[in-house]
Amino acid sequence: MKDIWKIFKELVKSWPVVQRIARYNNDQVYRQNYLGDFWHFADPALQIGVMILMFAVRGGGDKSNPHATGLAGYIAWIALGMVTYFFMQSAMQKSAKSIQSQINMLSRMKFSLSAIPMTEIVTELRRYFVMLGMAFFALLFVNVKPSIYWLQFFYYFFAMIIFLYTLSLVTSTVTVLVPDFYNAYVAVLRVSMWVSGVIIPVDSPSFPVLLSNILKINPLYYIIQGFRETLMERPIWFWHNITANMVFWGIVIILLIIGAHIHMRFRNRFMDFV
């Protein structure tokens, strides 16, 4: 608990600097390009468009998906899932290498190493909100109207950020200690889209029950499904699924304990490993 408390105190104290670094990162990415930020959103928008053509248009009438009605519903379902997934994938990948790539520069500043992974997560938020706006536009085609359930968005957004940060404490530390870990981690992230319910509804009646229950343990599935159950048709309050909540927050707590412990134990030696 001592390590966890220290980590959160450092994060709160470093928050203004985290925001400035994130803003700087966003400004520098495509500074030399004429179209600037357009390229920041073009890649995920193109991938989402391709996935919609490959899966939504082809399977728009597939009744095995209990969460989407017709082609328009299928498009909105996939768009919302992919926007959330692309943000998490990019944040997980960049935050895992954040300490290794930035420690030489930030070690000269009065900046807590535990806050470095958060800078990458916050950097990705601008693109996420723009892409989320596109997903909301897709929801208009499903005639989804705002409701009190939409307040639940803030719960799942908070859960997503906390999960990403606790995971990044583990992965960013292990990447410094064992460089080969990062390559394996990126490979796993490429596969995770297919097992997180982004494209395939893992809770459809035609899906094997045992495999479905195993895949639902995935925190990415919990968050993606949570956003869908909040913003789309037939919304559900998050507290109705007590088991899923306990599993997700149990995983987050375990990651936080492990991440805080190994980060505090090894961070004074990060420069030696790098």
Cβ count near 272 (within 10 Å):
8
The CA distance from 142 to 232, in Å, is 8
Can you give the pLDDT at residue 144? 74
Can you give the pLDDT at residue 113? 82
The secondary structure of 147-181 as a DSSP string is -GGGGGHHHHHHHHHHHHHHHHHHHHHHHHH-THH
Which has the closest alpha carbon to 184: 91, 87, 93?
A: 93
pLDDT digits (tens, 9 = 90+) for 35-44: 556 666 677 7
pLDDT digits (tens, 9 = 90+) for 235-262: 788 888 899 999 999 999 999 999 999 9
**Res 126 pLDDT > 60:** yes
Higher pLDDT, 69 or 7: 7
pLDDT digits (tens, 9 = 90+) for 199-208: 878 877 777 7
Can you give the pLDDT at residue 219? 94
Sorted by where each begins, the domain ranges of the chain are 2-273
**Mean of pLDDT values over 154-170:** 95
Which has the closest alpha carbon to 195: 171, 220, 164?
A: 220
The CA distance from 206 to 211, in Å, is 11
pLDDT digits (tens, 9 = 90+) for 52-72: 777 666 555 555 566 666 666
**Mean of pLDDT values over 74-91:** 87
